[in-house]
Structure 1
Amino acid sequence: MTTVAELIIESVAEHGTTEVWGVVGDALNPVTDAIRREDRLRWMGVRHEEVAAFAAGAQAQLTGRLGVCMGTVGPGAIHLLNGLYDAKKSHAPVLAICGQVPRPEIGSDFFQEVDNDVLFADVAVFTATVTDPAQLPTLLEQAGNAALQQRGVAVLTIPGDVGELEVAKGTSAPRFVADLPAAAPVPEAVRAAAGAIEAADHVTLLVGQGARGARDEVLELAERLGAPMVVALKGKEGFDHDNPYEIGQSGLLGNPATTLALETCDLLLMIGTDFPYKEFYPSGVTVVQVDSDGTHIGRRHPVDHAVVGDARLAVGALLPHVARREDRGHLDRARSAYETWQGLQQHFVDPDYEKKPAGFLRRKVDNPDRRIRPELLAGLVDRHAAPDAVFTADTGMATTWLSRFVRIDRDRRLLGSFNLGSMANAMPQALGAQALDPERQVVAFCGDGGLTMLLGDLITAATHELPVKLVVFDNGRLGMVKLEMEQVGMAEFGTVLHNPDLAAVAEAVGVHGIRVEDPHDLDDAVRRALAHPGPVLLDVVTNPDEIAVPSKPTLEQGWGFAIAKVKEMAVSPE
């Protein structure tokens, strides 16, 4: 006979999931015991359930299969929430298996009891509590299919007296449907959009993650239109390499070229992007938006022509209606601005930058302690990382440096909490990615605030021998918050982090630690870290006052920084 717990685990293994992440405990003990006896699955015990959810979400994004995590009764399930919200906003199919108090105690305010169906109602596309073994096959199949088809989170709750119950003899393990057929756009919508594109003089593309499967078609469209291509952060994976139309990111991660391309176009063509920052969109232009989800149309900026459908099919349908243009002026101006900006940025990827005239002057202003510039660290990691490395990035300044200095080439992958914007995601996502393939290089760009928030799970890397490379931008600050305060004229307050020697902490838990304080030691340290066969924490003491100028700086921001610096000189930050 087969138990409820065994049937769940058999279905997950049959689907192709290879790891289950979580913390063991009471109501889910039958489930972890079933995992112990299933050769196709590995139990990945973590120190905090939030790490489990982030790791499962990372695996789901990389494979398209269900990521699976577990949290037991009450607090264990609650700890999953932040990572599950990241999965929701990243459209990652994740199955969360949660514990519950025994059935007779449900509703009695029993020890640790929470109502999981209510708790997870906002984050999940499907929630259900199994109270009878006869329910399991249907509920499990619904949960898996909902997560896969709606690209979201499904939560299945197992009371403490249910996991060991037997299902009816002959019950087959449910099978999940992973196929997502591409939807073709309506021809009339394509023709209307093509007409608007043909009537425009200067077209700028804004391309995101949803266009990754349409790379060839999008590049051909950019070539015909002579259109510069602003690439959203999540679009770097797909459009960051071998792309003569690409001009980087917009928004706080951006550069002057993207501002130029957006402000001088008369038609903006959005393809597979939900770029959220409304203040960076151009005004007074025609907007065409291509998206597979019609609910995304127009929610960031008014849209004149909507094309709902798969990006590859939609752009492929547009191409026959678009003639090649001989005028390349719009593209050439944007590309020239981009290449000039890139050249200026490369000055920072030089350990001797501050000995040269421009660098010497700047050091006096923003780096009097001669700490390592984060741009140098990011550039060296890009230079030495494997061509098929998986990168993860913490929200904040770590993402800024990755965006500007790391190229996501053809075989590289990129993960981050780019929609939820959580702290502390880079290390957990790296653990999930590394578990999928121990031979593939996985590099996490960690902020010191993010890393220390879930510092206990350094032990997880050592325990499971996951050879992640954790690169820590150790500036002793919550850097993005500091930037946010200063640009509106506030003195930084509450942002200072009193960090230990993080390399020494790593060594204490079984992770190889390397600490760097001199820029001339950094190149060798990066090489050694990336070449080490096991998990590594590269602790790099970086400049806390480094400023990443946004693509469209304002006079108000400039005054804000000046006022903030005066206040900071008057009162030291705490």
Structure 2
Amino acid sequence: MNVSEFLWKRLQEWGLKRAYGYPGDGVGGIDVALQNEIDAGHLEYVQVRHEEMAAFMATAHAKFTGQVGLCFATSGPGAIHLLNGLYDAKLDHVGVVAIMGQQARVALGSNYQQEVDLQSLCKDVASEYVITVTEPSQIRHAVDRAVRIARDKRAPTVIIVPNDLQLLPYAEPLMAHSFTHTGIGITINSKVPAEEGLRAAAEVLNAGKKVAILAGAGALDATDELLDVAEILGAGIAKALLGKAAVPDELPYVTGSIGLLGTKPSWDLMKECDTFLMVGSAFPYSEFLPKPGQARGVQIDINSANLSLRYPMDVNLQGDSAATLQALIPLLRRNHDRSWRKQIEKEVEKWWKVLEKRAMASAQPLNPQRVFWELSSRLPENAIITADSGSVANWYARDLKMRRGMKASLSGGLASLGAGTPYAMAGKMAFPERTVIACMGDGAMQMNGLNVMITISKYWKQWSNPKLIVLVLNNQDLNQVTWEERIQLGKGKTESTQSIPDFPYHKYAELLGLKGIYVDDPEKVAAAWEEALSADRPVILEARTDPNVPPLPPHITLQQAKAFLSSLPTEAERSSVVRRSAKQILASLMPSRKS
């Protein structure tokens, strides 16, 4: 074997079977070796249109499967393009291995074409492990360490392979000084904290009268355990955005998302609790958590760096969420006073009526919340839902009711625009039998979505279930930033930066041989979803929505209200903004009244 052939075979021995990437002469030998593995049926390759999409897809693969994601790119610009998706992996704590080409070793340092100091470029994003391979036998420990660290540390790692090394014969490391002999053996670590810590945590939780639970991405595999704890303690459960699929929204004590995109019941849960249990989350916005000193706290996280990071906890437990909760449950005592739980359930029931009222409020032409409200009850079993950054994330976070078995994700810590469609593509490649729905704004769709639709058109016929729907909210506005200008800066919409071109997204789908659906009538939204969900091929569902429907936060501060009023004199769309905002506020205050 040559070095490139060994590279792919070793990655397969680690269980990595799908690579997302784009070719180039900086990875010529790696491309050739990859083709041999594809021809032999050993590896699956997804050819993207841009390297950034490859890294996003690898990140989403890791999120949806729990496995290490894999992407590769050529030297210079190709490697640089991977960075954004790799930072997405870094900030959301998932394992991804990136293979990067490099110019020939003899050329390094000569200011050669496409020569970039990749070691320095990647030292932050791949701070856990980045290596440039300079000798054939080195590739073995480079792969072994990159995959093991990516998996166990939940972080991106990078292997840089100069192109003149790629076709050299591979040689096993010698039994000699300076050589090392790595292996693939499994990692077995302690997932449960010591008994002393569990008992200390139980003591805090058992003493609580009003227990609030916050579940994050680290609790996605701890659904049953979270529900058991909530039932024993009479607690309510709020969810960080990356933990949206951790527990079903159908349960009356699940308060939904927390934060600026969150719900009023989650706000109330945190502000009124006397005990706080945080599981698998590094939720960043402390203003939405209990006030320090208000509640006694217990936190569970596999990463000790996250403990007591957002709230001063009384007991910090480093461990796997599900395993730790399983060990904790026998130590918990049932809280027979259900008054706190009843209060939570009453507020949750009222909240869903508020959301329905908001969704049904008229707009010009479509209320974006109506589009999501009509989808929610029609979500197929085991659906995978992705969302992009922007105002679309508000409606995804609040209006979609997750059921057990569904998966959902987006770019969380990085909040990168343009991740929704590559996430959807990766979800579909990993689970081709499931229906996948990407929720996109038009800004994100123009940035990356149109690009990824070409990739979808290339691969969709190989899927056992062809259903992949890309929802595009076409409002010709970079809407989240527009509202941030109004609410945070006290300024009206800045047309030159916020307005974006119109584009016929549904016709673009047809151009690619896919299905396009257009809707601008609120009474036809339900039918549009029915048509999309029954299509025999991927769909772009274009909804012409009103940009002036406000994404109301769960709690409006005096400062936000003042800023909004200050923005109106400079607001070009003042009349529409005022009318839509008034309707949404009225729906929040009086959800039972007719519009």
Please tell me the residue identity of whatever aligns with 1:112: Q
- The match for 1:160 among 159, 163, 186 is 163
Please point out which of 254, 264, 272 is paired with 1:256. 264
Q: CA deviation at 1:82?
A: 0.3
Q: 1:222 to 1:233 in 2, by over 3 A?
A: same
Alpha-carbon spacing, 1:174–1:512, altered in 2? closer, same or farther (3 Å)? farther
Indicate conservation of the 8 Å contact 1:65/1:178, yes or no: no
Amino acid at match of 1:426: G
Among 521, 524, 528, the alignment partner of 1:525 is 528
Among 42, 55, 58, the alignment partner of 1:56 is 58
TM superposition shift of 1:198: 2.9
Residues 18 and 436 in structure 1, CA contact (< 8 A), matched pair in contact too: no
Deviations 1:219-254 (A, max 9, x none): 222122211111222222121255342111221122
C-alpha distance in structure 1 between counterparts of 2:6 and 2:49, whole Å? 26
Residues 1:458 and 2:453 are matched in the alignment: yes
Looking at structure 2, the residues matched to 179 and 406 of structure 1 have their Cα atoms a distance apart, in angstroms, of: 37
Q: Of residues 419, 436, 440 in structure 1, which corresponds to 2:430?
A: 436
Say if 2:563 is the partner of 1:564: no
Q: Which residue pairs with 1:19 in the alignment?
A: 18
1:67-114 superposed Cα distances (whole Å, 9 cap, x missing partner): 211111100000000001111122222111101001100111111111
1:259-301, CA deviations, whole angstroms, 9 ceiling, x for partnerless residues? 2221221221212221110111111322221222211111112
CA separation in 1, counterparts of 2:534 and 2:169?
Answer: 49
**Where does residue 485 of structure 2 map in the other structure?**
485
Return 192-201 or 383-392, whichever deviates more.
Answer: 192-201
Q: 1:175 to 1:334 in 2, by over 3 A?
A: same
Deviations 1:425-450 (A, max 9, x none): 00011111112233321110111111
Contact 2:249 2:256 in 1 (8 A): no
Q: Give how far 1:4 is off.
A: 0.8
Distance 2:455 2:385 in 1: 19
Report the equivalent of 1:380: 374
Match of 1:422 in 2: 416
RMSD over aligned Cα atoms: 2.2
CA shift, 1:180, in A, is 5.5
Q: TM-score, normalising length from structure 1?
A: 0.92
Alpha-carbon distance in 1 for matches of 2:2, 2:255: 56
One of 76, 89, 107 as aligned partner of 1:105: 107
The one-letter amino acid of 1:18's match is K
Q: Match for 1:565: what amino acid?
A: L
1:401 aligns with 2:395: yes
In the TM superposition, 1:43-442 aligns within 5 A as 43-124=45-126, 125-168=128-171, 176=184, 179=187, 181-241=189-249, 243-283=251-291, 284-285=293-294, 286-349=296-359, 353=360, 359=361, 363=362, 367=363, 370-442=364-436
- In structure 2, relative to structure 1, the CA distance for the partners of 1:122 and 1:572 (3 Å cut) is farther
Kept after mapping to 1: 8 A contact 2:215/2:246: no
What is the CA-CA distance between 1:553 and the residue it aligns to? 1.2
Aligned partners of 2:309, 2:233: CA distance in 1, in Å?
26
Instruction: Say if 2:137 and 2:172, in contact at 8 Å, map to a contact too.
Output: no
Mapped to 1, the partners of 2:460 and 2:229 lie a distance apart of 46
The CA distance in 1 between the partners of 2:149 and 2:565, in whole Å, is 52
**In structure 1, distance between residues paired with 2:186 and 2:555:** 42
Using the alignment, how far apart are the partners of 2:343 and 2:281 within structure 1? 24
- 1: CA distance, partners of 2:120 / 2:575: 45
Q: Is the 8 A contact 1:100 1:113 kept in 2?
A: yes
Which residue is equivalent to 1:555? 558
* Secondary structure of residue in 1 paired with 2:549: coil
Q: Determine helix, strand or coil for the equivalent of 1:133.
A: coil
CA contact (8 A) 2:10 2:140 kept: no
* One-letter code aligned to 1:273: S
In the TM superposition, residue 169 of structure 1 has moved relative to its aligned partner by: 7.4
The structural deviation recorded for 1:348 is: 4.4
Q: CA deviation at 1:5?
A: 0.8
Greater mean alpha carbon deviation, residues 448-457 or residues 195-204? 195-204
CA offset digits 1:184-233 (Å, max 9, x no partner): 11222222222222333322122222223332232222122211111222
Q: State the distance in 1 between where 2:143 and 2:153 align.
A: 15
Question: Could you tell which deviates more after superposition, 113-122 or 186-195?
Answer: 186-195
- What secondary structure does 1:252 align onto? coil
Q: Distance in 2 between matches of 1:441 and 1:224?
A: 35
Cα distance per residue 1:33-68 (max 9 Å; x no partner): 112111222322211100011111111222222221
Distance 1:144 1:229 in 2: 34
Q: Are the structure 2 counterparts of residues 209 and 178 from structure 1 closer, same or farther at C-alpha, using a change threshold of 3 Å?
A: farther
- Asked whether the equivalents of residues 250 and 401 of structure 2 are also in contact (C-alpha less than 8 Å), the reply is no
Separation in 1, partners of 2:573, 2:146: 57
Mapped partners of 2:151, 2:172: distance in 1 = 28
Q: Distance in 2 between matches of 1:169 and 1:549?
A: 61
How many residues end up aligned between the 2 structures?
555
Contact 1:126 1:146 in 2 (8 A): yes
Q: Residues of 1 paired with 2:143 and 2:477: CA distance?
A: 45
SS at match of 1:391: strand
Cα deviation for residue 117 of structure 1 reads 1.2
Which residue is equivalent to 1:356? none
Please give the alpha-carbon distance, in whole angstroms, between the structure 1 residues aligned to 2:208 and 2:405. Answer: 35
Stretches of structure 1 lacking an aligned partner (at least 5 in a row): 354-358
